[in-house]
Structures are given as C-alpha cells and as structure tokens.
Amino acid sequence: MPPGRSRSTTAFLVLAGLLSLAIAGGSGASVFGIHALEQQLVHVPVGPGCTGPACIPSVEPACVRHACTYLVLGSDTRRGLSREEQARFGTEERVQGERADTIILVQVDVPHDRTVVLSIPRDLRVEIPGHGVGKINTAFSYGPEVMVRTVRRLTGLRVNHYLQINFVGFRRAVDALGGVPICVNRPMVDEKAGLRLPRAGCYNLNGAQALAFVRARSVEGDLIPDFSRIARQQQFMRAVINKALSIWSVFKLPSLVRAVGRNLVLSRNLDLYDLQDLSRELADLGQRRVIFRVVPSVPEEVDGVSYLRLVEPDASELFRRMREGRPLGPYGRALPLTALSPANITVRVLDAGAGERAREVADYLTRAGFVVAGPEPSPPRFDRSVVVARPPRATEREVVSTYLPGVPLKLGRLVTQGVDVVVVVAPDFPELPVLPSA
C-alpha cells in the first residue's frame, strides 16, 4: 500500500490512559486550573435529545451496572502534520475523508474489579447502519453517530463516553510524557511507517517513533500484519501505563493537555474530573485487572477485497461475557498466526541470590509490556536461572523466553495462582540489553 493510502493505526487509548493517569498522578491542579485546562479541549454534545451538527445521540451517559464503556477512536486526518510527516503518511489532498482505523472499547467494570480493553480490527466486515456492509473503519466517514451505532450493533454494548484523537495529538502526548520506554525481542523495521528499531533490546520512543511503532504493518516476520500490529499496540499501551504509574511525582497534567489541545475530542459528559475519578479507580485495580482482548476474527476475501470476518460463536460469547460482567475465559486473548502479546502475560520474578540483577530483569520485562510481579525471594532449591510455566502455559513461556535468550526453559508447578510464567534469576543470569533512562 502506498504511503499516501496508509491509515492511522495508532493505539489512541494510550492518550486517554495518559490523561487519566496524569490527573490522578498528583499534578495538584486546582479546581480553577482544571477548569482552565478544559477550555483547551473539544467537547461534543451527546445523548438522546442533543442537538447540533456534532451531536452524538447514541452515546448514552448512564452507565450499566456501574460499568462504563468508553469508545476510543483514532482519526486518520492529516491535519496539522509537518511536511516530513505528510510525505510519510500522506496529505489531506491525497488521503481524503476521515476514518477511524484504531477502534477500542474500554469497559471499566468496577463492581467486578476489572477494566477490559477490547480492540476492534479496522478491516472487520460488519453491517453499517444505513450504509450496507463494509469495513468497520469506514463507518466513521459517515460521522461519529454512525460509528457509535455500528459498534453498538456489533457488540451489544452501550457506549457511555466518547473520545477521539488524531496523529498530532498522539505524537505530542508521547513527547509530553518524555517518550515511552519499550523493549522488543527482535529487530523491527517498516520503511513505510518510518519504524527503525534495528536490534532486539530497549528503546525510549519519542512521539514520531511511537506513532510508527503502533501503526507499522510491514514488519518482517509478521504473518497477518493487522493482528501483529494490534499485539504491538497492546504491548505499547501496557508499557505506557507502566511508565505513567511509576512517575506520579513528576508528571504534570497541564503539559499533557497543552500538548494535545484541540487534537482531542471528548463527549460533553466526560470532563477532566471524570477522568480523574476513572484514573483513581484504575490505579486501585492495578495492572493485573486491566485485561486486553481482540474481537475474534480471521482473514477472508470477498469480491477481491480483503476483510476480517467474525469468528462465531467466540465473538458473541466474548461480547456476552463483557455485557454480563462474567469472566472472559480465553475468548479474544490470542490471534491466529500471531504471537501472544506481552500485555496478556503475567510474570513473577524470583530472586535466587542475584540481588540487583533480579530488579533489573523485572524492570526490563515491565518495559517490554508484561505484567510483572516481584522480585521476590525464590525457594531455596533454586540456584540456577530458569523460565518456568505449567504445561498449559507453554505458549506464554515461549513468548517470555524470546525476551530472555539463553535462559533455560522448564515446565513445572512452581507457578502460583494468577501468574502465567515464573522467571528465576540466579547469579548466572545473562546480561540484559541496556535499559533506556526513564
């Protein structure tokens, strides 16, 4: 696909997460200060009875069972891009219209102590109310109201809040954060997206690099590019949340709001106070209770056009469990022919006399996007480094091992409840890639 026809595939949930975490994180903004910041953002009217050309009546402000659902969209508008970025992503003249190529539902289900982050693939073939069948990302070209109705028709979930961000807002938000540390297990290069990570190891991605990382679709080794991209987006989101949670005392809300400015659109029923409350709830839940899923789907071709189609009954079962607040089980956790994202793997690090090295391993895996517990003292019988998982978690073990080459693998019962993989760090643990400064 030529660069001018490439579409934004950025993980725009990251920005919402950054914004909410920053508010809770202790900028200490006064009521007056928050009110002043509100004036820098774009709000649109929502709910039945709203009026005006920007109105989104299908957004229902009343949450269900105290579980609130946020629709987060990434707009592919080229407005505000530099000349260099327009050369890479295309100009407004070359890429006309506006699509939502990142579509994420975030269900904050406080009664069940969890937040579900559901990615909806942009090429999913769905019924678009009033416009026939097509790729779900094209629904946004008919306006936000059609997009909301399409998502509701697909999932059966009511949308309570609406957020929309574009290329420029995403890039500026990452820069305002000081970059995002990320560790990768292989070289990742995509000339079309402008992604150049020439080796396995750790990087501190600035805004432009982060944009390339989450939108890349031509990385060598990817079998189904859109699925691999979603897995990277999940990894990146987890890494962002990890960083935001670790810098409460230094990260300031005003700098982020000024960075995104008019590039962020919020439903009128969602303000910075709401995001402040949301972020506190997320912080209380912790990383383990933030669950990533993807709408179950597989590639198909219809009349010469490439789509993704729903996998049934898995998709309907996932949607039903989300609506009812039930455990999600395996539905939507893994993608066909795609390595499981680190964001979906929980690792416990045990220190077998390695001291500071165990802390370095825990930090490294955190920057790679894993959910990490520890380090904690290991049982005395361990004096060698090893990656351990129960037989049903062999896949998770293999993913972790790609980030820790040279560490022996073992299947065993050391893994405790709620953990997929255990990494025992002993004095023989090999050297890690140099970590970026956070």
Q: Which of 139, 175, 5, 162 is nearest to 73 (CA)?
A: 162
Q: Where does the pLDDT of residue 4 fall: very low under 50, low under 70, confident under 90, or very high at 90 and above?
A: very low
pLDDT for 140 equals 93
In angstroms, rounded to a whole number, what is the distance separating the alpha carbons of residues 412 and 112?
31
pLDDT of the residue at 367: 92
Closest CA to 222 of 3, 365, 390, 9: 9
Concatenated DSSP letters of 218-263: --TT-SSHHHHHHHHHHHHHHHHHHHHHT-TTT--HHHHHHHHGGG
Average pLDDT of the residues in 15-44: 55
Residue 185 has pLDDT above 90, yes or no: yes
Question: How many CA within 13 A on the CB side of residue 303?
Answer: 3
pTM: 0.86
- Per-residue pLDDT tens digits for 119-177: 999 999 999 999 999 999 999 999 999 999 999 999 999 999 998 888 888 888 888 87
Q: What percent of the chain has pLDDT over 70?
A: 77
Lowest mean pLDDT among 26-40, 313-327, 359-373: 26-40
Q: What is the pLDDT of residues 196-252, one digit of tens each?
A: 999 999 999 999 999 899 888 889 889 998 899 999 999 998 887 777 665 543 445
Identify the pLDDT of residue 76.
64
pLDDT tens digits, one per residue of 50-93 = 988 899 999 999 888 778 899 988 876 545 455 565 555 454 44
CA 269 to chain centre: 23
Are 350 and 375 in contact by the 8 Å Cβ rule? The answer is: yes
In the predicted structure, residue 6 carries a pLDDT above the cut 50 = no
pLDDT digits (tens, 9 = 90+) for 190-201: 998 899 999 999
Beta bridge pairs of residue 293: 118
Long-range contacts of 305-311 (CB under 8 A, 24+ apart): 306/123, 307/123, 307/124, 307/125, 307/135, 308/121, 308/123, 308/124, 308/125, 308/226, 309/124, 309/125, 310/124, 310/125
